[in-house]
Amino acid sequence: MAKTTVNFDTLDYLKTGNARQRQAYLILTQQKVIEKLNGFTPILVGTIPIDIAIDTSDLDIICCWNDKQAFYAAVLDAFNEQTEFRIRDYSMHGTNCVVANFLADGVEIEIFGQNIPTRQQMAYRHMLIEHKLLTERGDFFRQQIIDLKRQGYKTEPAFGKLLGLQTNPYEELLTYEGT
């Protein structure tokens, strides 16, 4: 059974996690990824922190910026030498976003930034809800999620399928917040 309380705001929990989590810890600390993003409240989110990663899962780091150009420049300066580095900005649901991707030690890292505090961003909120559901529903439920992910489902749609969510799992998952 998964731990019920985890402080996802630091990387410390990864040190004693499964092999994939320990690998993530080493990559992120040796490459100083979080350290280089410190001015933007970075948090690792997604499947690796909550132990539902599959072989193709990447390391997703969310950030908050007040000045999009300053964030863009900081990410470019810190990571542009990394293998397969690319960066773009776009609008999602009317919100400006900056996304960078690159490989570090053969693992893809995605840095996502927007002008929303990290603990209020959808990725963080979803992760907390998913962690709670995984903890409450146990290992069989966790394995079902992993199996759906291996079949090609994204994380939220996999949860949506098992929970019987009908329309938009990204929005409907939020109904589990605070329950």
pLDDT tens column, 121-155 = 999 999 999 999 999 999 999 999 999 999 999 99
- 93 vs 109: CA distance, rounded Å: 23
Tens of pLDDT, residues 24-80: 999 999 999 999 999 999 999 999 999 999 999 999 999 999 999 999 999 999 999
168: tokens are 């938009």
Mark 56-84 as b/e (b = at least 16 C-beta within 10 Å): ebbbbbbbbbeeeeebbebbeebbeebee
Model confidence at 3, pLDDT cuts 50, 70, 90, reads very low
Model confidence at 1, pLDDT cuts 50, 70, 90, reads very low
All structural domains of the chain: 12-176 (3.30.460.10)
- 52 vs 47: CA distance, rounded Å: 5
Tens of pLDDT, residues 79-125: 999 999 999 999 888 889 999 999 999 999 999 999 999 999 999 99
What single letter denotes the amino acid at residue 153?
Answer: Y
